[in-house]
């Protein structure tokens, strides 16, 4: 009976601390509208020259946003891949794109490559739509969880296959809970 009481107390403490929730404890503000980045405000959304090697970098510097993105717990990112001749590629795990959100893009190169305080999100299998077949939720309406300490200063896209020549960012959205960008007014993919 004593062990049972200790178990009940332990489970109560975990539940109270938020460890049994689906997100590890950070509450999602219910009434916060999703923030969809207006891609026309970015300097570029597609690399100008084709990648010359696997894991080539295409860094997009982000402007100062008019919202505090630390209030969002999820991000959805979509991108299209093109071959070296500029033809759009079908999604497959041999030619997908990788993405990282970067807080401070002026940090040393090594800090831009690994997850940590400066890289709060690094995901594989970025797709042009929500039809994920396997892998992460980064391109789905659900998005992936993230904990931003401050607004990101850049997004890094990388090719995960030597056949990818170009990557084009087609959606960057911060939200809480599920998000259907296709239902947003004026959204075009």
pLDDT given for residue 16 in this prediction: 36
C-alpha–C-alpha distance, residues 5 and 12, integer Å: 11
Residue recorded with tokens 């991000």 = 75
Instruction: Report phi then psi at 39, rounded to 5.
Output: -65, -20
Asked if residue 104 belongs to a domain, the reply is yes
In a domain, 14, yes or no: yes
**Are 41 and 129 in a shared domain?**
yes
Order of strands, sheet of 35-36, starting from the edge strand that comes earlier in the sequence: 35-36, 166-175, 74-82, 144-145
Has residue 187 been placed in a domain? no
Residues 94 and 169 placed together within one structural domain of the fold: yes
Examine the pLDDT at 180 and tell me if it is beyond 70. Answer: yes
Q: Residue 86 is part of a domain; what is its CATH number?
A: 2.60.120
Token representation of residue 39: 């891609």
Whether 49 and 71 share a structural domain: yes
Range of the domain at 16: 1-27
Residue for token pair 């990648």: 51
Cα 109 → chain centroid: 20
Is the same domain home to 132 and 68?
yes
Q: List own/partner pairs for 60-64 with CB under 8 A and 24 or more apart.
A: 60/154, 60/155, 60/156, 60/157, 60/169, 61/105, 61/153, 61/154, 62/37, 62/151, 62/152, 62/153, 62/154, 62/155, 64/151
pLDDT at position 135 is 58
pLDDT digits (tens, 9 = 90+) for 60-116: 999 999 999 999 999 999 999 999 999 998 876 555 789 999 999 998 877 777 788
Q: Maximum Cα–Cα distance for the chain, whole Å?
A: 71
Are 51 and 10 found together in one domain? no
Give the residue carrying structure tokens 């599920």: 178
Contact at 8 Å (CB) between 174 and 34?
yes
pTM of the shown model = 0.78
Q: What percent of the chain stands above pLDDT 90?
A: 52
What's the total number of domains in the chain? 2
3-class secondary-structure state, position 5 = helix
Tokens coding 4: 């049972």
What would the pLDDT profile of 114-132 be if each residue is shown by its tens digit?
Answer: 788 899 999 988 888 776 6
């Amino acid at each position: 009976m004593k062990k049972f009481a200790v178990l009940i107390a332990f489970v109560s403490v975990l539940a109270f601390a938020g460890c049994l929730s689906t997100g590890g404890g950070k509450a999602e503000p219910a009434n916060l509208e999703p923030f969809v980045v207006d891609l026309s405000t970015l300097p570029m959304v597609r690399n100008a020259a084709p990648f010359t090697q696997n894991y080539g970098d295409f860094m997009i510097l982000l402007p100062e946003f008019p919202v505090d993105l630390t209030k969002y717990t999820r991000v959805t990112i979509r991108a299209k891949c093109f071959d070296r001749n500029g033809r759009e590629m079908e999604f497959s795990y041999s030619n997908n794109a990788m993405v990282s959100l970067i807080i401070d893009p002026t940090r040393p190169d090594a800090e831009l490559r690994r997850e940590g305080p400066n890289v709060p999100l690094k995901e594989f299998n970025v797709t042009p739509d929500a039809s994920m077949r396997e892998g992460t939720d980064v391109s789905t309406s659900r998005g992936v969880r993230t904990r931003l300490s401050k607004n990101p200063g850049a997004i890094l896209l990388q090719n995960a296959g030597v056949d990818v020549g170009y990557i084009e960012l087609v959606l960057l959205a911060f939200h809480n809970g599920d998000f259907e960008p296709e239902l947003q007014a004026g959204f075009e993919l």
